[in-house]
């Protein structure tokens, strides 16, 4: 009889919960970085302004919001210039929605490549995650420039601590990634969800304190916004950059628990179910 160690790998029906081991994942790092690069190139393929869109897009969005929420509706922004107020919210929101929408299409959009070649499937959503983190950093740069302009022209004096934003950014990205993974698995099986997804994201957007702050929500409706685990992230993020925002420790713990749960369930579900999905998509 041959010794067991004679064989280097084995294929059976079992799927480990963690999909691939870290040694294997590490061996696919070149693919990961190439995919990030590819997605990046794809975004601005055949555009005139190229990567400039990364900053133009949020600016245009903010102008729209300023027009509607400030000029038309006249929503209060706690003494912060509306442009700065909305830009802060939009920056973090696009991080969430980009990662969530990007990763939730993992199976449906990669069905072709998944059916032709093996690589640890988690590489695909992780590439999307990295891509949007990089885009986010560039948008953060825009936010800093705008903030500096307000500061040096003396129009607004923020008194936040930007270091507080770091854990919040990580947790927002984590929540989006976890939720995206769960959605990717379910929507591969039930395409029905793809129709609902856009609606859900829009609904969630209004439940996040982006154009308003938690302090402005009437007391009897507060629970609705507080229920949203993302709310405290927006408050802390805004506090970190423009010094306006309130979040209690309880709210942050509540959000953190959500994030950890979503990431854990997402990764496990993705790895465990991913293999079976190959026979469905």
CA distance 193 to 187: 5
Which residues lie closer than 8 Å to 234 by C-beta, 6 or more apart? 89, 92, 93, 208, 209, 210, 245
Nearer to other proteins, 3 or 221 (CB): 3
Is position 189 an interface residue for other proteins (rule: CB under 8 A)?
Answer: yes
Q: Which residues of 231-242 are buried (b: 16+ CB within 10 A; e: fewer)?
A: bbbbbbbbbbbb
Structure letter (DSSP) for residue 230: T
Residue 53 CB, shortest distance to other proteins, in Å, is 16
Nearer to other proteins, 244 or 273 (CB): 273
CA distance 158 to 29: 40
Is position 195 an interface residue for other proteins (rule: CB under 8 A)?
Answer: no
Is position 26 an interface residue for other proteins (rule: CB under 8 A)?
Answer: no
Is position 279 an interface residue for other proteins (rule: CB under 8 A)?
Answer: yes
| Span near other proteins by CB under 8 A; candidates 3-11, 91-99, 101-109, 252-260 | 3-11
CA distance 268 to 263: 8
Is position 220 an interface residue for other proteins (rule: CB under 8 A)?
Answer: no
Is position 190 an interface residue for other proteins (rule: CB under 8 A)?
Answer: yes
Structure letter (DSSP) for residue 221: G
Residue 15 CB, shortest distance to other proteins, in Å, is 7
Inter-residue contact 102 to 260 (CB < 8 Å): no
With CB under 8 A as the contact rule, the residue among 1, 9, 157, 163 that binds other proteins is: 9
Is position 31 an interface residue for other proteins (rule: CB under 8 A)?
Answer: yes
With CB under 8 A as the contact rule, the residue among 155, 191, 202, 222 that binds other proteins is: 191
Instruction: Return the SS3 of 35.
Output: helix
Within 10 angstroms of residue 78's Cβ, the number of other Cβ atoms is 14
Give the orientation angle of helix 231-242 with respect to helix 165-189, to 10 degrees.
Answer: 150
Q: Which residues of 261-274 are buried (b: 16+ CB within 10 A; e: fewer)?
A: ebbeebbebbbebb
| Span near other proteins by CB under 8 A; candidates 64-72, 81-89, 114-122, 202-210 | 114-122
Is position 47 an interface residue for other proteins (rule: CB under 8 A)?
Answer: no
Is position 6 an interface residue for other proteins (rule: CB under 8 A)?
Answer: yes
With CB under 8 A as the contact rule, the residue among 55, 76, 81, 119 that binds other proteins is: 119
How far is Cα of residue 158 from the mean position of the Cα atoms in its chain?
Answer: 26
Residue 187 CB, shortest distance to other proteins, in Å, is 10
Which residues would be at the binding site for other proteins (CB under 8 A)? 6-13, 15, 28, 30-31, 34-35, 37-38, 41-42, 45-46, 113-119, 189-192, 275-276, 278-280
């Amino acid at each position: 009889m041959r010794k067991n160690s004679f064989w280097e790998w084995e294929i059976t029906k079992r799927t480990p919960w963690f999909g691939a081991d870290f040694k294997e994942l590490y061996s696919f790092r070149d693919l990961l970085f190439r995919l990030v690069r590819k997605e990046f190139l794809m975004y601005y393929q055949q555009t005139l302004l190229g990567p400039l869109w990364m900053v133009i897009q949020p600016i245009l969005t903010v102008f729209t919001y300023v027009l509607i929420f400030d000029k038309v509706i006249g929503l209060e922004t706690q003494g912060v210039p509306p442009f700065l107020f909305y830009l802060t919210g939009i920056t973090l929101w696009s991080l969430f929605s980009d990662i969530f929408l990007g990763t939730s299409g993992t199976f449906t959009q990669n069905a072709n490549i998944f059916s032709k070649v093996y690589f640890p499937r988690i590489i695909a959503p992780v590439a999307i995650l990295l891509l949007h983190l990089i885009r986010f950093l560039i948008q953060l740069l825009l936010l800093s420039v705008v903030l500096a302009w307000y500061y040096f022209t003396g129009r607004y004096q923020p008194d936040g601590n930007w270091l507080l934003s770091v854990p919040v950014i990580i947790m927002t990205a984590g929540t989006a990634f976890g939720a995206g993974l769960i959605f990717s698995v379910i929507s591969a099986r039930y395409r029905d969800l793809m129709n609902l997804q856009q609606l859900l994201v829009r609904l969630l957007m209004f439940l996040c304190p982006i154009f308003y702050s938690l302090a402005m929500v009437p007391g009897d409706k507060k629970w609705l916004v507080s229920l949203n685990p993302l709310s405290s992230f927006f408050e802390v993020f805004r506090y970190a950059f423009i010094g306006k925002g309130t979040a209690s420790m309880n709210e942050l713990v509540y959000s953190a628990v959500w994030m950890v749960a979503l990431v854990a369930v997402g990764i496990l579900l993705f790895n465990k179910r991913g293999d079976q999905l190959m026979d469905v998509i």
